[in-house]
Structure 1
């Protein structure tokens, strides 16, 4: 009897020990799980911008900036700036996420997209203070600006040769790695509707990155990067059609002679748009001589006269110079001054490694050493159109660098069926905002009176365009309600 009781007590002791171990395991799992969001939250919190130098008081949105490593071996890290949607967390937690890329190649999305186009702030002529952009795209979305590739802006590589071996392939691959790592830092954006947008040479960056995201998402029922579509403004699409439209635009806008027009058609027929060679370079030089001292990116606005003092500029503003209407051609000067200020860099968690060169709007080193640039984006467009992704292409009609004629020739060459023929669309002032045509799988829109940087020259129309893209609605054929 005693041995039976002893055996029973031993079994009860083992059972109690097992129960204790199960409780301990449950406690440790709970503690570990509770700790993870805190760690991730802290990672994002370290990038929180309290207030930028010269910022006009508190704002109704949160912003972050900092670095994401994309290649630890080479020491490549890309710099970003996130401007969450205006209206606080109740709005930003529901709004889509949009990645914005500028082109060049070698130009900064902080310099252009964030600071003179669609970002929340613009820089005053003193290079030290900011003012709010009334038509910022973070009114309707969380906007993520990325300086890419490494060597552009604050983005850097500890492997110096990386700056001389940039190209389309590595730029797209690093941007995808950036997205994966960034979204781990900001897990609340997992599964959020996600779009990619950009302009100019981002006509390559945007579809190339879109293709990677789309293909990596294949077979995943609920992808973390919930990619819905992309939009490209005044972007390179296909070298042959881009050149054809470029020379035609120059000729029919009176920028070049008929003889030079014919020379360009012959000499540049099979040349790369980004790296012309031989007789094409000579023909282009002749065309540039004939065009004179104009702003190729905005045909009908004044160039920045860099020799003018700020005092003289202010006098011209007061005297009713066209710049007073809202366009200042010297914004790049103010941008350089602002982002090279130590206090600004500290507030933005930028230049933490002490980059051995000044921040620039564009990197000549990256641009002149570009290594790979496919002649056409047609295969990617066709693949992503067939996939049913939302694709919009827009074009400011006063740009003579990648003009509307180039874009129209390229889109026409895709041979897509038309669902809505060419029509005028309207902005909130009852003015024609531009023209649009809807194809099966793609929407084309022009923006009236806009140059290469559409949101810089026509901010209201650009914001309307962006809103209708996000809502997947055709641009309004009558005056929309504001």
Structure 2
């Protein structure tokens, strides 16, 4: 190649690079949120939201909301996912747990969350999979065929395209976090990223680790630990406990037997009108119910914590001016946003019995893995999580110890080879909702990879 041809070639590459950057900036500008209705003034950080297509043929697109961190220009990026399956990360993670705003009880305004996690990291919330919240598919059958495998694949495709839209986050330290059924989503997506990055010197998606809370992990151990929690906390009778241990073994089938389902109904009746997500606090309007599904992991299939904040989110995100500000309603027609999709939950197609093999693979890979548990949750209780972790048979590096904040015990922790476990006292299923300050401390130590604080 001569000098002239080389110069032309280099100029073409340079111009192409400029075009790519300009296109990304244009897409970011389109997604930038000027201000949300009722938002406090001078928040000090930028926000973006919109859609990323994950399957052009089927017309599937996932809705995201990025809240940048004012901490530093190099703050890590954290993807947060809620579970269900079929529940919105905007409804729960963003609006009542770790996001920068809380919704007022009238559903008309917002106020600042003093313990928002964007104090330490850029937060990316995704409504996941298609059919949840504002995320959609133009192929109606997608709502009846969703499952773990396609959800993880769509999540990975989302990230590939999202990082092209936001190239400033490429190679930034990246973590994934979530709770409940995201105990499946988070390790599955982490595994896809890890495998894609193998052999790549400087991957764009610079995954450093993941963290899950009150997480569905392993069917057998989750059931054993849940029944034990119910019994030790006086929620069910001796006979129901012993019969559950016999009938709900999950040793030969992924699905509970009819005998198991009958006993779960009996356990629900014995527990009475409590909030199973937070057994020591009253439910909103004293109306907590067990919901039983015909499929999959937890046949009673609780929805997310309901101390009425869920209602405020429903009111707020169904306001047309809010949907417009979020770039969320692409049709312009009246759109009904819901916190969870019953259709997805009822027709979920695949749900592996255990995430423990993925844990073993990613522990060997050296990823930072933290598991936390609020100790007043009876849905995926601390005993279930401890049984699942114990099944990994990891060597203990730092034995069980209390951790402190302001001179008081706020939970306990144990550091294993490849995994850190943390409990939070008095917290229910959504730890950052019940114990926001402690949850922020947990998050800060997770990002640093440092042990939870001991008494000084």
Name the TM-score, length of structure 1 as normaliser: 0.88
- C-alpha spacing 1:294/1:245, structure 2 compared with 1 (3 Å): same
Q: 1:30-429, aligned counterparts within 5 Å?
A: 30-87=14-71, 91=72, 93-270=73-250, 276-305=256-285, 329-353=307-331, 358-427=336-405, 429=406
Q: Aligned pair in 2 of structure 1 residues 20, 335: CA closer, same or farther (>3 Å)?
A: same
Q: What SS is found at the alignment partner of 2:125?
A: strand
Distance verdict in 2 for CA 1:167–1:138, change over 3 Å: same
Change (3 A) 1:21 1:413: closer
Asked if 1:432 corresponds to 2:409, the answer is yes
Q: 1:26 to 1:182 in 2, by over 3 A?
A: closer
CA gap of 1:393–1:23, structure 2 versus 1, over 3 A, is closer
Query: Does 1:475 find its partner at 2:452?
Result: yes
CA distance in 2, matches of 1:31, 1:339: 41
Partner of residue 297, structure 2: none
What does the per-residue CA deviation read over 1:58-77, in whole Å, with 9 as the maximum and x for residues that have no partner? 21111101000000000000
Count, aligned residues: 438
Q: Distance in 2 between matches of 1:134 and 1:211?
A: 33
Aligned equivalents of 1:464, 1:272: Cα separation in 2: 41
SS of residue paired to 2:215: coil
- C-alpha displacement of 1:271: 7.0
List runs of 5+ in structure 1 lacking aligned partners.
1-17, 308-326
* 1-structure distance, mates of 2:87, 2:252: 19
Contact 1:239–1:271 at 8 Å: present in 2 too?
Answer: no
State the alpha-carbon separation in 2 of the partners of residues 263 and 455 from structure 1: 34
Tell me what 1:323 maps to.
Answer: none
Q: CA deviation at 1:275?
A: 5.3
For 2:291, the equivalent position in structure 1 comes to none
CA contact (8 A) 2:283 2:306 kept: no
CA displacement at 1:403 relative to structure 2? 0.2
Question: Given the alignment, which residue of 448, 452, 456 partners 2:429?
Answer: 452
Shift of 1:266: 1.2
Counterpart-to-counterpart distance in 2, 1:21 and 1:474: 58
SS in 1 for 2:285: coil
Question: Which residue of the partner structure matches residue 319 of structure 1?
Answer: none
- Give distance in 2, aligned partners of 1:448 and 1:285: 28
Task: Confirm or deny: 8 A CA contact 1:271 1:277 kept in the other structure.
Answer: no
Q: If the length of structure 2 is used for normalisation, what is the TM-score? A: 0.92
Which is further off, 275-284 or 459-468?
A: 275-284
CA deviation vs aligned residue, 1:359-416 (integer Å, no higher than 9, x gap): 1111000000000001111110000001111000000000000000000011011100
Bigger-Rg structure (1/2): 1
- Mean CA deviation greater in 282-291 or 261-270: 261-270
Structure 2 runs not aligned, ≥5 long: 288-304
Aligned pair in 2 of structure 1 residues 273, 40: CA closer, same or farther (>3 Å)? farther
1:26: how far off? 5.8
Cα distance in 2 for residues equivalent to 1:95 and 1:223:
18
Report the CA distance between 1:254 and its aligned residue.
0.6
- Cα deviation, 1:111-159, whole Å, max 9, x if unaligned, reads 0000000000000001010000000000000010010000000000000
- Cα distance change, pair 29–171 in 1 and its aligned pair in 2 (3 A): closer
Partner Cα separation in structure 1 for residue 368 and residue 362 of structure 2: 9
* Distance of 2:178 and 2:243 partners within structure 1: 32
Residue 11 of structure 1: aligned partner: none
